[in-house]
Amino acid sequence: MMAWLPYSVGCLISYARKQPEINELYEFMDPLCLAWNPKKYKTELLQTDILGLTCYAWNQGYNDRLAAYYKRIRPDGVTIYGGPQVPEDKQARDNWQRDRGAFLDHCIEGPGEIAFVEWLLDKPRSRTVLKELPTPYTDGVFDAMITFAKQNPGNFFGAPVESDRGCPYSCAFCDWGGNTRSKLIKFDQDTFMEQMDWVYSNNELTEAFLSNANFGINKRDIEIMQGIAAMQKKYNRADFQFTFGGLAKNGSKNVKPIMDIMLNEVNVLQHNLKVSFQTHTPEVLRVIKRDNISNEKLMPLVRHWQSIGKQVSAEMIIGLPGETADSWLKGLDHMVHDLSIYQSGTFILQITRNTLLDDPEYQKKYDISTKQVWWGKKQYGVSVVIKSYSFDLEELVKMYDYHWVYNNFINTGLIPVDRLISLYDQTRIFFDNLDQMPLMKDLIERQRTLVRKIFKKGRDVYLTDEKEIRWFSASMRMDDLQIMEANRDRALQELAVVFDIPDDVKFEIEGSGYRKIPVVK
Ligand code: SF4
């Protein structure tokens, strides 16, 4: 099993321990990061006087359970929440804290290292911006976890790393840029390389994730990439994989040399260039404040990768405000026929706290409604957009219809693109003829039922069925392809009405039907 080391917590501890006053007053326990049943942590929690939890959308349910359990067994203990999920708006924050009741004593919004130390020392919040890179790896914050992995063969960890922090853009759905994090802070390069060296030198770490939002935005990033390549050689880690969070947008000339080094000298999880388009609809780009990022400027890099025979995939978001079913399908068609990009990881639009999309004024302006979706015994939950000025529920159902065709047949490579005349036209013809395709119609209706269940106006929805959870939280596929394979002749016959499908096609892909396409954002 591979789990990510809790880097954000590690940064807080690393920074705090460097303050002499803190060391006189506090002792930090080893951080926890595995989402075990809270009762399994009873021993540790009983020894804890202050329980700090970093919150993001997907772990909020778990953190609430853990904090409530902690307060039950240590009523005199103190709980404090931090992380991107804590609302920055004071009124919203007060409400959010009140909603959690007696198990939450304090919360700190915004970047955490300095604010946490100020809270521990009972000092007023200065809002000073951190300039020095926290060094949790070389400070030994995670040593106990490495020991755990050594003692429990088969357990590995991944290491998030960062050489800069912040993003100059302000996309409406993302909490990485925006008002408070829009200034790019470059951390000391040598200190960063020391962190990387520690990561590469530990065999229990098998992956590093560079969490910079725009790697390549600074010229020095080429040197950083050369340093990482040198480390790969020094430690001869054939099992080690390196992944980017985000590459510089708008055609930075630093990106090509970086990608060349990555391609030739670094073991990257698949050699796949993933470009973050999110949408191809100009109206949507304007509404989500991403029209200052030019998709076109990514194209020279895309063409270069395609010319050397490397895979390029895209990242898209379905259901952005301004999108319609037709514009969504046109975007998919554009990607396939004009850009020759045949694979895309598509994400359901979720509301992340402290983003423009989370702002009531913005929601009012674009007639946005949201709803909470839970799964895993309410341990995981996210808020999704169910309506905007450009789509209602039935328009959204249609958007997912179109995506079903793309996701099951093109994204999987089951219909080779050289046998496709027009994704746009053929997808529309497919739905015009759906009544003549009983098997396909059953599968489409099954997805429609699920989409309506998730996105229809009303109270929170709880997903309990394993296939539905997989559809929502991973691949936007149930077991449609397996059903097609089990009814192969019928599936081939029905699809042949619209698509030129190879006779020897196998309607199955590995494992659960989730085809992993991560890598370069
Ligand atoms: S989506 Fe990317 S470019 Fe936009 S604000 Fe977030 S990190 Fe920055």
pLDDT along the chain (521 residues), means of 10: 92 96 95 88 96 91 94 97 94 94 94 95 94 96 93 91 93 78 89 96 92 93 94 86 83 87 73 83 96 85 84 92 98 95 92 93 97 84 95 98 96 89 97 97 98 95 93 90 94 94 80 37 32
CA distance 42 to 74: 10
Atom number in ligand 1 closest to CA 293: 3
Sign (positive/negative) of CA torsion 6, 31, 374, 112?
negative
Q: Is residue 509 part of a domain?
A: yes
Q: Is residue 201 part of a domain?
A: no
Atom number in ligand 1 closest to CA 245: 7
Q: Is residue 332 part of a domain?
A: yes
Q: Find the length of the chain.
A: 521
Assess contact for 371 and 455: CB atoms under 8 A: yes
Atom number in ligand 1 closest to CA 177: 5
**CATH code assigned at 55:** 3.40.50.280
Q: Is residue 268 part of a domain?
A: no
CA distance 164 to 218: 9
Identify the domain boundary among 120, 138, 162.
120
Q: What is the pLDDT of residue 517?
A: 34
Q: Is residue 416 part of a domain?
A: yes
502 residue type, one letter: P
Assess contact for 147 and 52: CB atoms under 8 A: no
Q: Which of 165, 167, 295 to mutate to test the pocket of ligand 1 (most atoms within 8 A of CB)?
A: 167
| H/E segment holding residue 514 | none
CA distance 283 to 105: 43
Identify the domain boundary among 120, 143, 161.
120
Residues contacting ligand 1 via CB (< 6 Å): 167, 169-171, 174, 176-177, 213, 246, 249
Nearest Cα neighbor of 275 from 308, 304, 242, 239 is 304
CA distance 219 to 189: 12
Atom number in ligand 1 closest to CA 173: 1
Q: If you measure from the C-alpha of residue 484 to the centroid of ligand 1, how many angstroms do you get, rounded to a whole number? A: 38
Q: If you measure from the C-alpha of residue 314 to the centroid of ligand 1, how many angstroms do you get, rounded to a whole number? A: 15
- pTM to 2 decimal places: 0.89
| Number of neighbouring beta carbons within 10 Å of residue 464 | 10
| H/E segment holding residue 112 | none
Q: Which of 165, 176, 356 to mutate to test the pocket of ligand 1 (most atoms within 8 A of CB)?
A: 176
Q: If you measure from the C-alpha of residue 311 to the centroid of ligand 1, how many angstroms do you get, rounded to a whole number? A: 23
Q: What is the pLDDT of residue 181?
A: 66
CA distance 345 to 314: 6
Residue with CA closest to ligand 1 atom 2: 213
Q: How many domains does the chain have?
A: 2
Range of the domain at 314: 273-345+363-371+386-521
Structure tokens at 370: 């949201």
Residue with CA closest to ligand 1 atom 4: 171
Atom number in ligand 1 closest to CA 178: 5
Q: Is residue 175 part of a domain?
A: no
Atom number in ligand 1 closest to CA 521: 2
113 residue type, one letter: E
Identify the domain boundary among 120, 155, 175.
120
Residue with CA closest to ligand 1 atom 3: 169
Q: If you measure from the C-alpha of residue 335 to the centroid of ligand 1, how many angstroms do you get, rounded to a whole number? A: 21
CA atoms within 13 A on the CB side of 453: 16
Q: Which residue has the tokens 């919150």?
A: 55
Q: Is residue 58 part of a domain?
A: yes
Q: What is the pLDDT of residue 443?
A: 97
Q: Which of 164, 165, 169, 274 to mutate to test the pocket of ligand 1 (most atoms within 8 A of CB)?
A: 169
Q: What is the pLDDT of residue 271?
A: 59
Burial 91-101 (b: 16+ CB within 10 A, else e): ebbeebbeebe
Q: Is residue 435 part of a domain?
A: yes
Cβ burial of 440 (10 Å; 0-12, 13-18, 19+) is buried
Q: If you measure from the C-alpha of residue 517 to the centroid of ligand 1, how many angstroms do you get, rounded to a whole number? A: 19
Structure tokens at 27: 């002792």
Under DSSP, is residue 441 helix (H, G, I), strand (E, B) or coil? Answer: helix
Q: If you measure from the C-alpha of residue 121 to the centroid of ligand 1, how many angstroms do you get, rounded to a whole number? A: 34
508 residue type, one letter: E
